[in-house]
Each structure stands twice: as C-alpha cells, then as structure tokens.
Amino acid sequence: MSRTLHLAEQLISLPSITPALLTGFAMAFARAVGEYGSVIFIAGNMPMVSEITPLIIIGKLEQYDYAGATAVAVVMLVISFILLFVINALQAWQRRHAGAPA
C-alpha cells in the first residue's frame, strides 16, 4: 500500500515542478550554447564525428571564411531562440492549465 501511495504522490508532484524543470533546462541549454573555453579542451574535433559548433566557427575564422562563420553562428542563434520560445510557450500553457495567473 505504501508503494502505491508513494507512486501516486510522485505523479501528483510532477506537474507542479514542470515549470521549474523547463526553466532549468532552458538555463542549462543557454549556458551550454555560450560555453567556449572548457569545451575547446574537451572536444575531439574529429571531422564529421565529434565536431562542435564553436570549433567549426573558429576553424572558419582561421580560414578567413567570415561568411561561413557568421552562417554557423546565426543557425546556432536561431535554434537557441526557437528552443527558448518553445520552452516559454510550454510554461505558459502549463500555467494556464494549472489555473495560475500568467
């Protein structure tokens, strides 16, 4: 019986922490997108295997391909904005359905 109650308690509390989980995900993602220094030391930079966008941008800048570096950065920026917009929309939807003020 206690296991059943414990599971029901977890299922009830999950919707109440969903906004916090989404916000945490958004903040972690924003931090990861902006991270450069520590990622450069860890990344393998094997072409088509372990390339990451900051290394692609630096490689293009070292080759004086400013248009290519700008294109990669803009795509990364657009993806970040879309994900943050989706997370905010999900949070607003959750608030409306939970009955909390927007």
- Which residue is associated with the tokens 């999950």? 14
Look at residue 19 and tell me if it is in a domain. Answer: no
Range of the domain at 70: 30-102
For residue 70, is it within any domain?
Answer: yes
**Which is higher by pLDDT, 6 or 86?**
86
| Any domain includes 11 | no
Give a yes or no: residue 54 inside a domain: yes
| pLDDT score at 81 | 86
The CB density around residue 10, as the number of other CB atoms within 10 Å, is 9
Mean pLDDT for 48-52 is: 76
Query: Residue 70 above 70 pLDDT?
Result: yes
Domain count, the chain: 1
* Percent above pLDDT 70 for the chain: 75
Q: What is the DSSP string of 25-91?
A: HHHHHHHHHH--HHHHHH----TTTT--HHHHHHHHHHTT-HHHHHHHHHHHHHHHHHHHHHHHHHH
Establish if 21 belongs to a structural domain.
no
Residue 3 forms part of a structural domain: no
User: What does the alpha-carbon distance between residue 57 and residue 43 come to, in Å, rounded to a whole number?
Assistant: 14
* Confidence band of 64 (pLDDT split at 50, 70, 90): very high
Q: Give the CA distances from residue 23 to residues 11, 20, 67, in Å, rounded to whole numbers and listed in that order.
A: 20, 5, 33
pLDDT 10s digits, 1-45 = 445 555 555 556 666 777 778 778 877 877 777 777 777 677 676
